[in-house]
Amino acid sequence: STGVTSGLTRMKNFFDRFPPFPTRYVVVAPDEDRNKVVKEANKPQFADLNTKFFPYSAVEELYALCQKRKIRGVTEEFLDCYMETIVN
């Protein structure tokens, strides 16, 4: 899998090179990588991304719910329930 820092660097490059548009910058990673994601995302060079963390366990939980209830689409607000805003 992609390292946290290199992933954030690619997101930052995208953020810096394109005109502003509504998007979210999300790191999807193993639960045990949370502290590393928080540490890296809060570095000054990445702070303006307002990064969210979407742990694998939450992805699995959401997938299971969608399969069980035959959910075909979700809103951004619903997805936000599974993500953690990690920038201080």
pLDDT in tens, 3-32: 999 999 999 999 999 988 889 999 999 999
What residues make up the domain containing 30? Answer: 4-85
Give how many domains the chain has, as a whole number: 1
Task: Check pLDDT > 60 for residue 1.
Answer: no
Exposed e or buried b per residue across 36-46, where buried means at least 16 C-beta atoms within 10 angstroms of its C-beta: ebbebbeeeeb
Assign 3-class secondary structure to the chain: CCCHHHHHHHHHHHHHHCCCCCCCCEEEECHHHHHHHHHHHCCCCCHHHCCEEEEHHHHHHHHHHHHHHCCCCCCHHHHHCCCEECCC
pTM here is 0.90
